[in-house]
Amino acid sequence: MKKSQADIIGLQEVTQTPEGKNNIGKQIAAELEYSYVYATGMDLRKYGKPFVMGNAVLSKYPIISSKTHLLSKTDSRVAIQADIQIENTQLHIFNTHLIHTHQKPSPIQEEQAKDLISVLLKEKTIVMGDFNATPESKAIQLLSKKLRKADGNSAQPTWSVYSEGCEMCLPKGLTIRLDYIFTTNDIQQKTFTIHDSNGSDHLPISLIIKE
């Protein structure tokens, strides 16, 4: 992340203790000297693990406000919204992590996508995250009707770097697209990149924009 020199970073599967200690996103933000907001999306104690997990937004610029949006009534996940001031412009950043459906149709994932769409602002908005959905899925099709996907119709894979990425799917290699960046039409998209990394089972993605 230091090497990327990204102005704004969205992290998913950020862990911390249930009491709010040892938040990995907060530690990374401190190392980068960035502003930071976090929202818990999953309580993994029900799976026997001693921590909770959520999404974080890190920013080189001031985060002036933030909100947490619950997505779906069943198997709920969250989207964290960070309103970031860059000179005279305020960007609305949404970072999310939808339910993993093992690349199969899912009414819950579709509900999460619809709930996400319902809270988005119509201008100066960027949506990023691990959507756990392939390009042809209903969730991505719904989002693509409301927003502009950063790499158009590309299905270049972002998952899985490791076969351990899912014990049920047992992915055979880096063949599946699950991660995306979307923007409202008023944001000028310049360069979208899928980066090489061994730091996660997902590859990091980035978008350079211009006002």
Q: What is the CATH number of the domain that holds 206?
A: 3.60.10.10
For residue 39, being part of any structural domain is answered with: no
211 residues of the chain, pLDDT tens digit each = 999 999 999 999 999 999 999 999 999 999 999 999 999 999 999 888 899 999 999 999 999 999 999 999 899 999 999 999 999 999 999 999 999 999 999 999 999 999 999 999 999 999 999 999 999 999 999 999 999 999 999 999 999 999 889 999 999 999 999 999 999 999 999 999 999 999 999 999 999 998 6
> What's the pLDDT at 147?
98
The predicted pLDDT at position 211 comes to 66
Give the model's pLDDT for residue 58: 98
The answer for residues whose C-beta is within 8 angstroms of residue 72's C-beta and 6 or more apart is: 99, 108, 111, 112, 115
Does residue 135 sit within a domain?
Answer: yes
Domain count, the chain: 1
b/e sequence 136-154, b meaning 16+ C-beta within 10 Å: ebebbebbeebbebbbeee
Tell me if 200 is assigned to some domain.
Answer: yes
Tell me, what's the pLDDT at 26?
A: 97
Give domain status of residue 15, yes or no.
no
Where is 149: in which H helix or E strand? strand 148-149
**Domain interval for residue 153:** 65-210
pTM of this structure? 0.97
Residue 150 confidence (pLDDT): 98
